[in-house]
Chain A
Amino acid sequence: MRKLIWAISGIMFLAACNTGNSTKTLPIFGERTPVTKTVDGKPVTDTLYQTIPPFKFVNQYGDTISNKNLDGKIYVADFFFTSCPSICPIMQRNMLLVYNEFKSDPNVKILSHTIDPKHDSVPVLKDYADKLGIQGNSWWLLYGQKEEIYQLAEKHYLTRVNDGKDGLIHEGWFLLVDKQKRIRGSYDGTIPEQVKQLIADMHTLQLEK
């Protein structure tokens, strides 16, 4: 009888652990707006989450990349420039860990936006990508108008980490975006432990429909 009690306890314990893992979800960040719709004649309130708005940039291969290229995909965004002497080399070294983990999954992308388009032309970005060992289409280094990049960063990607301090765009943040283009996580790209957490969270996000 005692054996049976232990066996049942063990099964319950394992079941509880399994449930914990499979139901893990990441929080959704950003503004949310309640929207009331009528379903079957009854009012139903739904929540609209803030999403990354449409954009269009050019990658290191000279191809135009828009928000549509990210439909149904999860991605990590960050901000850098090729001549950055301080944090960018550390960030990109850490981003290589993310790249190597997910480069074979076509539904995972990395978007690194240059904040110095005056000097970081498409050939400069290609050269930088080659030096980092980036191949294929899983990590795009993106060129665009500086104002557009700052607009996207300040009003969308970095709102979650805005603590009122100056200089957000050059703080080394990695932003995790889901298939619906909602921010699901922010990580200090200069800290290896946070990058490990990002990788773990990306695996969690991959399982979401």
Chain B
Amino acid sequence: MKKLFYIGLLAIVLTSCQNARNEEKALQKEVLDSHDKVMADDEKAMINKMKLDTLIQKADSLKINKQTATLLSGKLTAADDAMSDWMKNLNLDNSGKNHDDIMKYWREQHAKVKQVDSLLVAATDEATAFIKTTQK
């Protein structure tokens, strides 16, 4: 009877460990999927930066506001840097940490990557709007 009790207890512990690991993996996957989406936004930001930099070089002949173009290009660079820094600091190895700490880490990273994405999208939208005005 005692044996059966220990076997049952072991099964419960193993199941809960597995559930905890699955939960961690699911959240990590969510963050990495967000990262891939943000990479696409980063690419859009870079394309806009290239367009802006071309406009800045021809600012005098095109009679566009060089100061605004430079400011917007700087915002794109800052957002791109934020993305680059986030990726560099992301740590996939959480070994040695307990379940709560791992979940906390991935929740924080999720919030951070969303914040970086907002920066990229906002800077890209501003740049796109400015580039449109130069095409009239």
Give the B interface residue count (CB, 8 A): 22
Select one of A119, A151, A154, A167 contacting B39, CB under 8 A: A167
Residues of chain A lying within 8 A (CB to CB) of residue B53:
147
Proximity string of chain B (39-79) to chain A, C-beta cutoff 8 Å, 1 when within and 0 when not: 11101101101100100000000000000000000000000
Residues of chain A lying within 8 A (CB to CB) of residue B50:
147, 150-151
Once the chains are docked, how many angstroms separate the CA of A73 from the CA of B25? 43
Residues of chain A lying within 8 A (CB to CB) of residue B80:
146
Contact B84 A169 (CB under 8 A): no
Within 23-44 of B, Cβ neighbours of A (below 8 Å) are at: 32, 35-37, 39-41, 43-44
Chain B, residue nearest A81 (CB): B87
Residues of chain B lying within 8 A (CB to CB) of residue A147:
46, 49-50, 53
- Whether, in the assembled complex, B11 has its beta carbon less than 8 Å from a beta carbon of chain A, the answer is no
- Whether, in the assembled complex, B3 has its beta carbon less than 8 Å from a beta carbon of chain A, the answer is no
Once the chains are docked, how many angstroms separate the CA of A81 from the CA of B90? 13
27 A-B contacts (beta carbon < 8 Å)? A81-B87, A83-B87, A83-B88, A85-B32, A116-B84, A118-B84, A119-B84, A119-B87, A146-B80, A147-B50, A150-B46, A150-B50, A151-B50, A154-B47, A165-B40, A166-B40, A166-B41, A166-B44, A167-B36, A167-B37, A167-B39, A167-B40, A167-B41, A167-B43, A169-B39, A170-B36, A170-B43
Footprint of A on B, CB under 8 Å?
32, 35-37, 39-41, 43-44, 46-47, 49-50, 53, 80-81, 84-85, 87-88, 90, 92
